[in-house]
Chain A
């Protein structure tokens, strides 16, 4: 058993004998020293979706899922196609990729993990750390070099992310996909 707080997006919880894919999970401190997790769930048997809330320490039964390494190929009309080393293609709708969609860009070479439930692909996990290029950001306003002052920047797919003030357009940055936050400036992938 895991706590609700430990359940991450793209994991599956068995609730009342129904498998629910966690598409999104937001942790919030409520009052005193307790916390809640707001989740967007999708029932893998019926396809129905719901928003739900748990106490952060509520116990949840996690379903262990099969995973296969894949890379991103292309997208068309909100369908995203990934491919494994045997050239098998896996199609996913944008709705099933909600937590990773902000970081999917054309030409990305990350080794991702396609996640399967009862033989059917249900989502894709990105690596914990990914490198992306900034396509636009304002110039440094304050000349800060500490990395503590942040500003908004944009990725190739339009995703906006807060980066250190010293980052420039065309720079490459490292992102933590668990939090969706900027980690550091990075070298361009080889």
Chain B
């Protein structure tokens, strides 16, 4: 692929430098998105990328080759830098700071051509000063959260006036052409199609996880926050006519799953049968392996932002557990996505899907909505494939960011 920046001028040279700042708040979404973006900028746009992350333990879960104790390391062309927050500055995640960590010295840090603060994290004051001190100040971008709400398009790409001559802009991912798009690696869709058309590859991958896919069983992956609807959903699956194999990568849902199963501790690859439902715990998966799991399953239950987007690229039906927000603000975001996603579905399928997603995100009983969904399942399968095709025609975030930088120059 020809790097888009090869035709750049304006004093930034052929290869621009990027600093991406990531503060891990609670789960793997922040680092999942930024690590993916960093790799893509290097691999597909030949950019020089440094990823600042304040929780290397969390990073090492996603990148098994990483060492959580190395303050600086190189992985897949990305320089990964431990970000030690300045204790004098408001710290969004003080629990991630080792007590002995000292304030970083940014006087020797050269600010990058493009600086991304991911998910509204707070850049160090000294680093902002370094951005302003450059011959031409850095382009400063706030990469925002993903939302399908209407207001996103009206805010995407808008400036945020700053002192010291700095130019900052808000960059919003999204599902429509007037937003920054979604993260999607080059060739991802083709790679997924090849995998799904190759039963031997699917079986080999599942076997590598210790999974033996049963004939006629529905394969379902579960990656969710704690959820009050879980028990009723599992009850429904256990009572169903068609068998279900539920594959559960390690995560926050495990305690509730153990409670429903009535076991003290789930061990890796233990299998627990309850009626028509077989539950199997999987290890925490790397991003490529998690993609393959999504591609292998008939239904994917996902959460937050990164796994939610990856499930859409899997072109299979999904059930989204959205990140809960204060004052139920997340329900507006859920409905905004459903409005887009359900376009083109029959009224019966649209109603069934919305009922299930609302129940799952409101802690309601899942029995009725799960049964209604089964009546329209073939339509939902076809729709998820069509939705993926529609989304994949749009720009991906890394290309949109590089183009944004190019226009700014």
Q: Are B159 and A31 in contact (CB under 8 A)?
A: no
Say whether B12 faces chain A, with CB atoms less than 8 Å apart. Answer: no
Min CB distance, A3 to chain B, in Å?
Answer: 12
Q: Are A16 and B161 in contact (CB under 8 A)?
A: yes
Given contacts A30-B120, A33-B325, A38-B154, contact A52 B163 (CB under 8 A): no
Say whether A162 faces chain B, with CB atoms less than 8 Å apart. Answer: no
Say whether A20 faces chain B, with CB atoms less than 8 Å apart. Answer: yes
**Secondary structure type dominating chain B contacts:** loop
Say whether B207 faces chain A, with CB atoms less than 8 Å apart. Answer: no
Say whether B147 faces chain A, with CB atoms less than 8 Å apart. Answer: yes
Q: Are A33 and B120 in contact (CB under 8 A)?
A: no
Min CB distance, B307 to chain A, in Å?
Answer: 15
Q: Are A52 and B160 in contact (CB under 8 A)?
A: yes
| A32 to B165 Cα, complex, angstroms | 30
| A50 to B167 Cα, complex, angstroms | 14
Q: Which of A31, A33, A38 contacts B144 (CB 8 A)?
A: A31
Q: Report B314-339 CB contacts with A as 1/0, cut-off 8 Å.
A: 00000000010111010001000000
Given contacts A31-B119, A31-B323, contact A15 B162 (CB under 8 A): yes
Q: Which of A17, A31, A50, A55 contacts B147 (CB 8 A)?
A: A31
In B116-162, the 8 Å CB interface with A consists of 119-120, 142, 144-147, 149, 151, 154-155, 158-162
Residues in chain A near residue B14, CB distance under 8 A: none
Q: Are B154 and A20 in contact (CB under 8 A)?
A: no
Min CB distance, B283 to chain A, in Å?
Answer: 27
Residues in chain A near residue B305, CB distance under 8 A: 31
Q: Which residue of B lies closest to A20 (CB)?
A: B161
Residues in chain A near residue B329, CB distance under 8 A: 29
Residues in chain A near residue B323, CB distance under 8 A: 31-32
| A34 to B325 Cα, complex, angstroms | 9
Residues in chain B near residue A29, CB distance under 8 A: 325-327, 329
Which size class do B's interface residues fall under?
20 to 34
Q: Are B161 and A50 in contact (CB under 8 A)?
A: yes
Residues in chain A near residue B8, CB distance under 8 A: none
Q: Are B158 and A51 in contact (CB under 8 A)?
A: yes
Which size class do A's interface residues fall under?
20 to 34
Say whether B205 faces chain A, with CB atoms less than 8 Å apart. Answer: no
Q: Are B162 and A53 in contact (CB under 8 A)?
A: no
Min CB distance, B29 to chain A, in Å?
Answer: 9
Residues in chain B near residue A16, CB distance under 8 A: 161-165
| A32 to B326 Cα, complex, angstroms | 8
Q: Which of A31, A41, A55 contacts B146 (CB 8 A)?
A: A31
Q: Are B145 and A34 in contact (CB under 8 A)?
A: yes
Q: Are B145 and A41 in contact (CB under 8 A)?
A: no
Say whether B25 faces chain A, with CB atoms less than 8 Å apart. Answer: yes
Q: Are A52 and B158 in contact (CB under 8 A)?
A: yes
Min CB distance, A1 to chain B, in Å?
Answer: 12
Min CB distance, B116 to chain A, in Å?
Answer: 14
Residues in chain A near residue B341, CB distance under 8 A: none
| A30 to B174 Cα, complex, angstroms | 12
Q: Report A117-144 CB contacts with B as 1/0, cut-off 8 Å.
A: 0000000000000000000000000000
Residues in chain A near residue B165, CB distance under 8 A: 16
In B306-363, the 8 Å CB interface with A consists of 323, 325-327, 329, 333
Say whether A89 faces chain B, with CB atoms less than 8 Å apart. Answer: no
Min CB distance, A32 to chain B, in Å?
Answer: 6
Q: Which residue of B lies closest to A4 (CB)?
A: B160
| A53 to B305 Cα, complex, angstroms | 22
Min CB distance, A16 to chain B, in Å?
Answer: 5
Q: Are B145 and A32 in contact (CB under 8 A)?
A: yes
Say whether A169 faces chain B, with CB atoms less than 8 Å apart. Answer: no
> Which of A16, A32, A36, A58 has the most chain B CB atoms closer than 10 A to its own CB?
A32
Q: Are B119 and A32 in contact (CB under 8 A)?
A: yes
Q: Are B325 and A28 in contact (CB under 8 A)?
A: no
Say whether B387 faces chain A, with CB atoms less than 8 Å apart. Answer: no
Residues in chain B near residue A41, CB distance under 8 A: 161
Residues in chain B near residue A55, CB distance under 8 A: 120, 142, 160
Say whether A54 faces chain B, with CB atoms less than 8 Å apart. Answer: yes
Say whether B405 faces chain A, with CB atoms less than 8 Å apart. Answer: no
Min CB distance, B320 to chain A, in Å?
Answer: 14
Given contacts A28-B151, A31-B146, A33-B325, contact A38 B158 (CB under 8 A): yes
Residues in chain A near residue B327, CB distance under 8 A: 29
Say whether B225 faces chain A, with CB atoms less than 8 Å apart. Answer: no
| A56 to B285 Cα, complex, angstroms | 35
In B160-205, the 8 Å CB interface with A consists of 160-165, 170
Q: Are A52 and B325 in contact (CB under 8 A)?
A: no
Given contacts A30-B145, A38-B155, contact A53 B119 (CB under 8 A): no
Sample 11 A-B pairs with CB under 8 A, ordered by A number: A30-B144, A32-B145, A33-B326, A34-B145, A38-B151, A38-B158, A41-B161, A50-B159, A53-B159, A55-B120, A55-B160
Chain A residues near B (Cβ < 8 Å): 15-17, 20, 26, 28-34, 36, 38, 41, 50-55, 58
Closest 6 CB pairs of A and B: A31-B145, A29-B329, A53-B170, A53-B158, A15-B161, A16-B163
Chain B residues near A (Cβ < 8 Å): 25, 119-120, 142, 144-147, 149, 151, 154-155, 158-165, 170, 305, 323, 325-327, 329, 333
Given contacts A30-B147, A34-B120, A38-B151, 13 further A-B contacts (CB under 8 A): A15-B163, A16-B161, A16-B165, A29-B326, A31-B119, A31-B144, A31-B146, A36-B170, A38-B158, A52-B159, A52-B160, A53-B155, A53-B158
